[in-house]
A and B are shown apart, each in its own frame.
Chain A
Amino acid sequence: MSLHASEGRLRAARQGQWRRQPFITGAGRRWALAVAVLAYLVLALGSVDVNWARVAEGAGRAVNFLAAFTQPDFTSRQGDIIDGLIESLTMTLTSTVIGVLLAIPVGLGAARNIAPLPIYALCRAIIAVSRTFQEIIIAILFVVMFGFGPLAGMITLAFATIGFMAKLLAEDIEDLNWRQVEAVRATGAGWWQVMNHAIQPQVMPRLIGLSMYRLDINFRESSVIGIVGAGGIGATLNTSLSRYEYGTAAAILLIIIAIVLASEYASSHVRRFTQ
């Protein structure tokens, strides 16, 4: 089929009509894909029931909310915002540190080229569980276990950090340059020495970069896990939204955006410094 299509293209080209190469080869496959997409869209859009009266009613609120961004209200809930922010920031820092420290052994265990099979399977299972569930689901469980407050949030974020960092670290170790490991081994180095002198130097720059990135993600996540009671600015944001205090909500969102921007700027500097 693809042969036919390309022949048609060539014939047209000989007559001076150029057609570009299709992205998906084979007209039959293109049609099947288009029909499948269309069928899915009909089914999916059919099952989405929208209460248009409610949407029309909410349109006014949307305008109010957008208007609130032009004059965010930082002052009337200043105390709550500052408390929430301090909690969020402390949670972010401690959870990233603890998470990265715990992720290093898990990541070493999840790299197939340096870990025996049982340890590999165990570490991969830890990674799969930690990566599948959203932070907020884990937060619900930890809030039940450890009670309300930033400790539950910190443990949640640390747990999520383990999965993220360990997976990327393991992938990094799996495609590192094996010659250096052999060279260090040939000197009679033990396991710790191989880790320290052959593997660590190769993965360290990326590990630092990823930690900075995770710090950024953890801050963003710490702004939502407060919804289920795990501390941080999310609780303040949730309250202000459900009370329709759009000025305060806009102020909190602007602060979050500013902090994320600042941390992204800082992490790009750190990455340039380490690489």
Chain B
Amino acid sequence: MKNAIETHELTKIYNNNFKAVNSLNLEIPNKSIFGMLGPNGAGKTTTIKMLTCLIQPTSGCATVCGYDVQKNPDEVRNLLGMVPQQVSLYKDLTVMENSQLCADYYGIPADERDSRIEDLMELVDIEYARDKRVGQLSGGQKQKASLVASLVHRPDILFLDEPTIGLDPTTKRTLWDLIRELNDNGHTIILCSHDMHEVDMLCDNVGIINTGNLVAYDTPQGLKDSLLEENKKELTDALSEIHSENEVSKSTQEKLENLSLRKMSFLLQNHDENIVSNLQNMDDVRSVEIARNGRINLRIDAFDDMVVQNILKDVIASGGIIKSIYTEEPSLEDVFIKATAEVDEDARA
């Protein structure tokens, strides 16, 4: 099977006529890690609720591993696991008891229930807390316990809703490794997160949902490259406007200021105002900022490495001794902000 999840014109309109999901067409490849992004209220949660059979779609259809969510809800439920943002285990029960409860609710045979749980506990490294009450666990331990309970029926697809929110960096990385391992073991992972770095690091594909629509879908690198290309086009258009009219309209000016251009920064051993002044006069340098620690941050109007090299050559020729250098491409966050801002403008219009 090519796709783990497919939706076709999936729509949900609540009783108050609020259209939370609007003709969503989405394909999530089997055995991939898919990042579902979107601002608050974009329709992600409603989409997940429809896919997990918690609510019925108003129109359209969705299939999970080929099963229709409306016609075969029990088959779909058996194929899904969910680790919600809010740990939804019984706090008075131990990790083991919670997992046993979930296993029995999924109808796991008694003779293999406990061994499955033990294996999962070992996998997520929580076996040391098997007899501890969930209410007594730390945030990371709770997420691990939640993972065990969600994986006990060996679901093909695992939904992770903000799995690392509030966790310390070390625990976060442990969970990332675990997510990769689960994916290697054949689970399709659907990750909802506002941590763009996390999504960039983990996901094979990313879909951005806003006002109930899929507004962007690609690999993380593909999305960033698209933004870069888009910015290049916008900049070219803006520049040609300047050349043709000899003035810049207010909207063009705003666009130019907000473009996610290649960013570059370096730290000089011998900070010199002349070097900064030279940089400000260079054609390809849009803006120069001096940070508190002396780091020189540049926004550059160029998209090839030659420009970067030219800037460096100029600094060195001016007598600057470069201590460290850093260049930055548009991030997934830039993609997210742009994609959701455009839809916001459309919605307002």
Decide whether A and B assemble into one complex. Answer: no
